[in-house]
A and B are shown apart, each in its own frame.
Chain A
Amino acid sequence: MPETDLPETDPIATDVIYQTEALIAEDIDAYLEQHQHKTMLRFITCGSVDDGKSTLIGRLLYDSKMIFEDQLAALESDSKKVGTQGQEIDFALLVDGLAAEREQGITIDVAYRFFNTEKRKFIVADCPGHEQYTRNMVTGASTADLAVILIDARKGVLVQTRRHSYLCHLIGIRNIVLAVNKMDLIDYDQARYDAIVADYAAFARSIGIESFTAMPISGFKGDNITAHSANTPWYMGPTLVEHLETVEVLSSIDAEKPFRMPVQWVNRPNLDFRGFSGLIATGVVKPGDEIRVLPSGKTSKVTRVVTLDGDLDQGVAGQSVTVCLADEVDCSRGDVISFSDNPPQAADQFEATLVWLNDEAMLPGRAYWLKLATQTVSATVQQPKYVVNVNTMEHLAAKTLDLNAIGVAELATDKPLVFESYADNRTLGGFVLIDKMTNATVAAGMLNFSLRRAQNVHWQALDISREAHATLKNQTPKVLWFTGLSGSGKSTIANMVEKRLHAVGKHTFLLDGDNVRHGLNKDLGFTEADRIENIRRVGEVARLMTDAGLIVLTAFISPFQAEREMVCSLMVPGEFVEIFVDTPLDVAEARDVKGLYKKARSGQLKNFTGIDSPYEAPENPEFRVDTTRETPEAAAERIVNALLGWAPQI
C-alpha cells in the first residue's frame, strides 16, 4: 500500500523480508481465525554479546517479518556507522535499546521482544550475560517457559554457560535449549559439535538438569533457525523455531495442579453482589466446587465465575476471574482460595533461596517487606547458611548477601504466610523483599520449605497473663524509646523520667547502651549488622518486660528507622512511645562527654553515627526534645505529665 516519504531500500532485501504469508493477502478472515487460536510462549536468551545473542534475536525478528521497512532503513544506516559486521546488517543494533547500551555496545537491562509464527506468539526476554548482570537474568527468567542457552561453537562450554544454566535451573525453567551458535565459523564440524554437547550433558547432569535439547545453528547465517540447513545434513532434530512452536507452555502444566487463587480485590458494587477477584495461579475452578479460604480455613462453595461477557463454566490457571461464593465467609486481599481438599499450608518460618538485587547488602535481622502473591508481611532474614559461587556451584560461608549473590537462608515473618514450595507453585513460592526505607526491590526469593519449629513450637499458654501483671502494678506497660545522636542527652533525660515515674509509684526499668553491651550483647561489635542485632535483642527484652507489666525506658542511638519500626512492631499497639532527643551534630560533638567524637574524627573509631555512619531521624515521634531550647528537667517533666495525662492509671 502506498506510504509517504519512504527511504529507498534495496529491492532484493525487501523481497526476501516481505514475501508475506499468502493467507494474509488472500483470506484475512482465515488468517485472523488462525491467529486468534495461537498460544503464547515466553522464553529467555542467555549468552553474551560475543555469543551472538542479539544477532540471533535480530534474526528471529527478521525471519518472522517483524522488522518494518523504516526500521530496516534505520538499521542499515546504523550498521554502517556503528555496526560490527562491516557493510553487512548488524542485527544486534535492533535489540540493544538504551542509548548507553548503543554507545558501549553491551546489553545492560532486560528487553522484551515480540514475534509470531503460524502457531504461536513469542515474547523474548533479552538478558545481559555478564556476571554483574545476574539479577537482570534472573528477572528475565522468572516469567520464561523456556531458555535458549547460547554457546560460541569456537569456544565450547565456558564458565558463563554454566552460570546461565544454573540460574535458569534455579528459577525453575524445565525446557532448556543448548544452541551451539556460529557453526559457520567452524565449518559445520559435526565432531566438534558432538564434543560440545557431550561436555554440556555431563555438566547439566551434575546440577540436576534432567533434559535439554541441543541444536547446531548460526544466527548470522540463519542455519537451523526457521529452516533445516543444508550445511548440517547430519543434524536430524528440529529447527529452533519448530522447537519453540511445540514445547509445552508453563500455564498448561499449571492447569493440571490443584486449584489456588490469591485474592487481589474484593468486588462489592452493591449489597447484592460480593465477588473475589484474582488471577488463578493453578488448577481449574467451576461453579459447585467446594473451596476453602486460607489462612482462616473456612469452607464454602463456588456459585459463579463472573466476567463482563457473561458467567464462565470454568476458570483455568492464568485467567483473571471474579468468583462468587455461597456463604458470607470472611475473605479479603491476601487470602488464598483453594480446593477444600489438600489446601496449601500457612507458616511463619522458612528456608528460602535468595537472589540479592540491590547495591546495599542484605542485613541479617533487619525487617524487610516481603510480598508473595497478594500477601505483604514484615520479614527478617538470618545470616545465610551459605552462598553459591555461580561459576563453580560451590557452597561458601558468608555473613551477608551482596549484589547478585545467591544464597540460602532462613527467614521469619511477623504473620503467617499461605504458601507452597516454589518447586510446586511459582505463585505461592516466589517472593520479593522490599527495603522499608527506600522502597527498593532488594531481593527475589523462592521458598524451599517451612521450618518445623514454626509449626510445632506453640506459645506456652500462661496462667498469669500480661494484663494480670499490669493490673497488680496498677499501670499500663510502656516502652519509652529514646533515640538520638551520641551525646544528645538520651540517658540524662531517660534517667530523670525514670526518677519521676518511680517517685509516683510506677514500676520501671531503664535499659541503656552500656548496661546491655556489658552483658547480653557483649558479643556484638559496631558494624551495621551488629548494631541491628543489638537493637533487635533490646527490643525483645523490652517486650518481655512489658509482658511483666513494667514501664521500660531505653536509651540507644538506634540510628535506623527500619529497626525502630521493627521494635515498634514487636510491641502491643500503643505501648511503644518514640522520643527523639534532637540535638544537632555540632552541639553533641562540642559536648563530647565521653570523648568519642574526637576518636571518631581521628579515625580511631569506625562506624560512628553522625561521622561515618548515618542517623535517620524519626519522622513522627511521639515526643521531640530540642535540647538547644529545652532543659533536660523541663523535657522530663513534659514527658511524664503527658504520659500521666494520656493514661491516668499509670
Chain B
Amino acid sequence: MSKMVHRQTLTHLERLESEAIHIMREVVAEATNPVMLYSVGKDSAVMLHLARKAFYPSPPPFPLLHVDTTWKFQAMYELRNKMAAESGMELLVYQNAEAAEKGINPFDHGSLHTDMWKTEGLKQALDKHGFDAAFGGARRDEEKSRAKERIFSFRTASHGWDPKNQRPELWNLYNARKNTKVGGGGESIRVFPISNWTELDIWQYIHLNDVPIVPLYFADERPTYQWEGQLFMADDIPRLEKVLGYRPEITMKSVRFRTLGCFPLTGAVESTAKTLPEVIQETLLTTTSERQGRVIDKDAGGAGMEVKKQQGYF
C-alpha cells in the first residue's frame, strides 16, 4: 500500500488489508496452536503477504501447512519452497499415506481423489499436529454457501461444519473460545481473513504489492491436451501416460490458469495475457466465474460445496 496516507478515508483495499491483519492478530493472541494453510495459489500468496505484514518485524508466529496431493504443477512446488524460505516460516508438507498407498489419482477415482488427498489429508494433518486454528484463503464471493460462512468458522472434533449453528459475529469482535475435551479432540477453528475480498481485489492487491505468484497465472506456450471436453496442461507427460494408459495428444498452445489445483483437474484457458494488468483485464472481460474450471462445485447439484464443507472440506 502507499506509504503516505494523507487522506483520512482509506481505500477499499486498505480497509480489506487492515481487516485481514486484525483477524490474523486476534487468532495469534487467542489460539494456542495456529497454522496457515498454504496451497500456493494466488489467494494463498496474498494470505502469506498479509501475514508477513501483520507481524512485521517478527516473522509470522505460525507454520505454513501444505496439504499435498502429489498432483500439483511443478511450478507450484518450486514457488512453495522459495516463499517458505523467504518468509522465515516453517513449512509442513502433508501427504495422506493411505491415498498414496492406494494410488488414488484424479483420472481413475474422480471425486474420491479430492476426498482422500485434500479433505482426509487436511483432517489428518490438523489432528497430527494438534492445530486449534487454521487460516484459510476462502472468499465469500467464490460460492453461495461461502457467502454465509463466518470468519471464525467452528468445526467439530471430526471436522464437520454446521451451517445452522454458527456463532453470530458482530462488529469486529470474534469469539475464539473453543470447546475442548480433556486429552484433546475438541473443536477447532477455520479462520478466513480474506472473506470479504473479491477475485478482482486479490489481483489488484498482487499488482500493487508485487506479491510473487506462480508463473502459470500468466500466458505462455505450454503443452496441452484435451480430456473430457476440457483443455489441460500436460505438466508431467510420463506420469500422465502411466495413469491414462496412453499418451495423450499434446498440442502447444498459449494458455494460462485462473485458478491452480491439481494439474489434471484444473482447466487451462487459451490466452495471451502475459502481464498482471492483462490478466486482470481478461478476468474482468471474461464471462465465467473462476470456479467454473473446477470440478468440485458441481457435485450434488446446487449444494455441492455446502455438502463438502459439512464433511470437513476447507
Contacts and interface: CB of A to CB of B under 8 A. Distances in A.
B55 A264 contact: no
A265 B306 contact: no
Contacts of B56: 306-308, 322
Contacts of B53: 307-309
Interface residues of B, number: 83
B12 interface: yes
B269 A3 contact: yes
A526 interface: no
Nearest to A82: B302
Contacts of A255: 8-9
Contacts of A228: none
B28 interface: yes
Given A4-B231, A312-B5, 20 more contacts: A1-B269, A1-B286, A4-B230, A31-B284, A36-B11, A38-B12, A68-B288, A70-B292, A98-B306, A112-B140, A112-B196, A114-B196, A120-B12, A251-B15, A267-B55, A273-B57, A306-B57, A316-B10, A320-B18, A374-B26
A175 to B, nearest CB: 15
A320 B170 CA distance: 19
A268 B58 contact: yes
B270 A143 contact: no
Contact of A440 (B141, B144, B167, B288): B167
Interface stretch (B62-70, B112-120, B173-181, B239-247): B173-181
20 contacts: A5-B229, A32-B204, A68-B286, A74-B302, A78-B302, A98-B144, A99-B145, A99-B303, A121-B201, A139-B170, A143-B171, A265-B55, A277-B55, A278-B25, A306-B57, A308-B56, A316-B10, A320-B17, A427-B171, A432-B170
A2 B10 contact: no
Contact of B3 (A97, A138, A273, A312): A312
A484 interface: no
A162 interface: no
Most chain B CB inside 10 Å of its own CB: which residue of A1, A29, A284, A373: A1
A102 B281 contact: no
Contacts of B21: 279, 320
Given A38-B12, A69-B288, A116 B5 contact: no
Interface in B1-51: 1, 3-19, 21-22, 25-26, 28-29
Nearest to B167: A441
Given A40-B15, A279-B18, A319 B5 contact: yes
A309 B301 CA distance: 45
Contact of A32 (B58, B280, B302): B280
B207 A32 contact: yes
Given A24-B285, A38-B11, A68-B289, A138 B200 contact: no
A611 interface: no
Interface size grouping (class) on chain A: 35 or more
A604 interface: no
Instruction: Please indicate which of the listed interface residues A95, A138, A273, A319 has the most CB atoms of chain B within 10 Å of its own CB.
Output: A319
Nearest to B182: A619
A432 B306 contact: no
A28 B173 contact: no
A97 B119 CA distance: 22
Contact of B5 (A78, A102, A273, A314): A314
Interface string A481-521: 00000000000000000000000000000000000000000
A265 B286 contact: no
A95 B282 CA distance: 26
A364 to B, nearest CB: 21
B8 A252 contact: yes
A135 B168 contact: yes
